[in-house]
Structure 1
Amino acid sequence: MNAQTVNFTPEQITALFIDAAREGDTDLLTQFLDAGMVIDTPDSRGYTALIVSTYNGHLDAARLLLARGANTESVDLKGATALSGVAFKGMTDIAQVLIDNGAQVDHANFSGRTPLMFAIMFGRTDMARLLLSAGANPDHRDGDGVSARDLAERQGVTGFFDQETGA
């Protein structure tokens, strides 16, 4: 019997791990982690398994990765965290899990934009309320000097912060 050995490069292994996260395959993620995969290993775009699993709406995969020690503050090549990705998509259930596991609500990407800003820009009012209730600062200014409060006013969502949150 002739056993064939398959050798994967570290980049290929990382790609397979990130793909498992993208698909929400908790069994395969567990196998990778049990075999010694470093949980916060980024792919070529800086995406970690946590960023990819949350962005694709895989709550069980996110919970597994967080339970195994994934860093909520890992960033992609644009400086965005997992919370930034779910904020603009409006995934409040995943956002709450990230916040409960230490995600910083005011973590700004390299352009200075916070998850609250993304929530406002994309009309995710439930997400904005969640972030505000978790302590997000509506007056943080991005690299262009614009705040989440400014964004809301520009979009005609006047009084959002005062009426909805008391902020």
Structure 2
Amino acid sequence: MGHYRFSKTVAAVLSVTLWAGGALAEPMASPAEAPAASAGGYRSEVVPAPAGATSLDADAVSRKLHAYLFDAARSGNEAILKEFVAARYDLDTRDEKGYTALILSAYHGHENAVRLLIAAGANPCAEDLRGNTALMGAIFKAEIGVARLLMKAGCDPDHRNASGQTPAMYAALFGRLEVLNTLKSQGADPQATDAAGNTVDGLAQGIVKSTGR
């Protein structure tokens, strides 16, 4: 596990002592103290491990940090996301489904969190295990503000997931006309065909084919 610099607030909520060569912050006495620290601003400090202390299992700490990052992304907790950014944590860390923090924030409609993560260097074009991107999730959930942000990120407008579907196909299928028109203006292929034989133009006209036919 890398050495990251977190505030006492993060360590307190995690309820673990994050000692790793003195590079992680020591927690406060209890998680209940976290709100008080938050009210006074986030404080980062490096503390040495006391004599006789042992480091926690690196994998266990890593799992806790991953879970905390993903929870913050789902809830749009910008303060905690900023902690991970400040600690230079890997923002493109993935969960068991291949979701990154940015994918989760986009799917749950947290526009400011998406903006924060992109500005901090998170990959806006990252794919989950099915090949879906944050933009595809935003289109599916009708999070148009988030989709607008992601369409400015320079991702391939003809990106395909594991089923051969593109963002424009999602926009056509779910009637997100503003998104569809923007993607077309960015060069999305209206005749791109997925595994079932669907095209962007066909889906926009309500012609939906399935692989079972």
**Structure 1: tracts of 5 or more residues without a match:** 157-167
1:5 corresponds to 2:17: yes
Equivalent position to 1:113, from 161, 165, 169: 165
* 1:154 aligned counterpart, secondary structure: coil
Whether the 8 Å contact between 1:87 and 1:116 is mirrored in structure 2 is no
3-state DSSP class of the match of 1:80? coil
Q: 1:27 to 1:138 in 2, by over 3 A?
A: same
Question: Is the 2:111–2:146 Cα contact (8 Å) retained in structure 1?
Answer: yes
Rounded to whole Å, the distance in 2 between the matches of 1:26 and 1:39 is: 13
Q: Which amino acid aligns with 2:139?
A: A
Residue 87 of structure 1: aligned partner: 139
Moved over 3 A (4+): 4-9
**Structure 1 residues 69-102: Cα deviation after superposition (integer angstroms, max 9, x where no partner):** 1112211111011111112223232222112121
Aligned counterpart for 1:96 among listed residues 118, 135, 148 = 148
Scaled by the length of structure 2, the TM-score of the pair is: 0.66
For residues 129 and 92 of structure 1, the distance between their equivalents in structure 2, rounded to whole angstroms, comes to 13
Q: TM-score, normalised by structure 1?
A: 0.83
2:108 to 41, 48, 56: 56
- Gaps in structure 2 of 5+ consecutive residues: 1-15, 19-55, 209-213
Larger radius of gyration, structure 1 or 2?
2
Query: How many residues are treated as equivalent by the alignment?
Result: 153
Greater share of helix residues, 1 or 2? Answer: 1
Answer whether contact 1:84 1:115 (CA < 8 A) is retained. yes
- Give the RMSD, CA atoms, in angstroms: 1.9
Q: Is the 8 A contact 2:148 2:179 kept in 1?
A: no
Provide the C-alpha distance between the structure 2 equivalents of 1:70 and 1:102, rounded to a whole number of angstroms.
13
